[in-house]
Amino acid sequence: MENNQRELLLPEKEEIQNELKRERNKSRYRRIIKNSIYALLVIAAVAVLVATFIFPVLQISGTSMQPTLNNGEIVVVLKTDDLERGDLCAFNYSNKVLIKRVIGLPGDEITMDPDGTVCVNGQILDEPYLLSKSYGECDIEFPFVVPQEEYFVMGDQRETSIDSRNTVIGTIAKDQIVGELFLKLWPLSDFSFID
């Protein structure tokens, strides 16, 4: 009688162990990938929340803050509306975020000479950040008293900056303020805290 059935070859014990090990590694690898993706999503969500609500990141567009800030630089803003004279602040204006320097606080009296010398409460303002003084685009009358809960701001490039000297922008209300600039991120060669 002929045997038409084929013999089944059973795998060796070592082959079974290797196959089990490979399957466990595949499962562990999938688990690591899945957990890594979840971790990256959580980190990204936290980064977005921090950047939106605590430390907004802005890119400088324009030249009104030169030489302090240049076109294309990236800065970090600390969310606050508690500003001091000399602070660089970001504020909302006409669906844009503008950056200027705080010159006058609520209640301050601002005057400006035709040559661009600024006085606050009768004292000449020390402005080492300026390359040159200029009266610029000014259509307000001096002396100017800053209204309560508002700030008088100016760009560092006085000749071309449109700021609180012009009624187009005027003084900045506290509720317009995004925050104070505190860190220059980009370019990396200029990475520094902003005074």
> Is the residue at 171 inside a domain?
yes
> Is the residue at 84 inside a domain?
yes
Domain count, the chain: 1
pLDDT for residue 189 = 77
> Is the residue at 43 inside a domain?
no
Q: What is the CATH number of the domain that holds 85?
A: 2.10.109.10
What pLDDT digit, counting tens, does each position of 40-75 carry? 887 776 666 665 566 677 777 887 888 888 888 888
> Is the residue at 37 inside a domain?
no
> Is the residue at 52 inside a domain?
no
- The pLDDT mean for the chain works out to 83
Residues with active-site annotation = 64, 100
> Is the residue at 45 inside a domain?
no
What pLDDT digit, counting tens, does each position of 102-118 carry? 999 999 999 999 999 99
Strand runs (DSSP E) across the chain, as ranges? 57-59, 74-78, 88-93, 96-104, 109-112, 118-120, 123-124, 144-145, 150-154, 172-173, 177-186, 192-193
> Which neighbouring-strand residues pair with 124?
119
